[in-house]
Amino acid sequence: MYRKTAGILMTAALALALSVNVMAARSIGGGAGGRGIRQREASARGANSRKNSTSGAVSPSSAITIIYTGDRKQVSFITGDAATAGLPAEVTAVIKKLNDGITLKDAVGIAGLEGFNALTKTDAIAVRDTKGNISDTDTRLRLNIPNLAGNLGSIKILYYANATGRWAILDTSSVDVENKNLSFTAPGSGTFTVIYKK
């Protein structure tokens, strides 16, 4: 009798332990509906969207580093043949002239470039929203420019916007020569070079 009672008690204890383990495992996910898992995924998405994902990306052509990407966007450098893929032939010709050292005014041919020089080679960037889709809307950027110096005078950005198909001279919103950083607002994906006028 003693053995039979002990066996029943052991079976009951084992069944109870298993049901507690099953309930604990289900509660990790937030119960049968998995609400806890969805909450963690939402928190992870929220954290990812706040961290402005591209800090640390380095341009292969100019050694420019993206320090900060605002407006909940993701910005990455486009390299190799992909940097000019799909651009009109006249635009790729301008980019080649800029990288070959042709004067900005002669290479691009827009008003306002007189007296400006290129500080960097051109870099192509893709701007994406938090879902990974191309987002051709204004995006705040802070970049580290290794050859940024205090004697450069007026510093601006020469930018080709893929969405508009036009070159434009953009103002910088801040220039920190000591830390070699500058900030500006990019009008979406495109190609740019940092320019200066003494």
Q: Where are the domains of the chain?
A: 65-197
pLDDT tens column, 92-111: 999 999 999 999 999 999 99
pLDDT of 18 > 70? The answer is no
pLDDT tens column, 48-104: 333 344 668 898 888 999 998 888 899 999 999 999 999 999 999 999 999 999 999
Beta strands, E only, the chain: 65-69, 74-78, 117-118, 123-128, 138-144, 154-161, 166-176, 181-187, 190-197
Q: For position 189, what pLDDT does the model report?
A: 96
Q: For position 55, what pLDDT does the model report?
A: 66
With a pLDDT cut of 90, the percent of the chain lying above it is 65
* pTM, to two decimals: 0.72
More confident call, 18 vs 63: 63
pLDDT tens column, 26-42: 322 333 333 322 222 22
Q: Would you place residue 9 in the very low, low, confident or very high pLDDT band (cuts 50, 70, 90)?
A: very low
Q: Would you place residue 121 in the very low, low, confident or very high pLDDT band (cuts 50, 70, 90)?
A: very high
More confident call, 140 vs 2: 140
More confident call, 51 vs 145: 145
CATH of domain 65-197: 2.60.40.3410
User: What whole-number distance in Å separates Cα of residue 148 and Cα of residue 33?
Assistant: 55
More confident call, 3 vs 96: 96
Q: For position 34, what pLDDT does the model report?
A: 33
Q: For position 62, what pLDDT does the model report?
A: 86
Torsion angle of C-alpha atoms 131, 134, 135, 140, degrees rounded to 10: 90
Mean of per-residue pLDDT scores for the chain? 79
User: What whole-number distance in Å separates Cα of residue 121 and Cα of residue 195?
Assistant: 10
Q: For position 72, what pLDDT does the model report?
A: 87
pLDDT of 188 > 90? The answer is yes
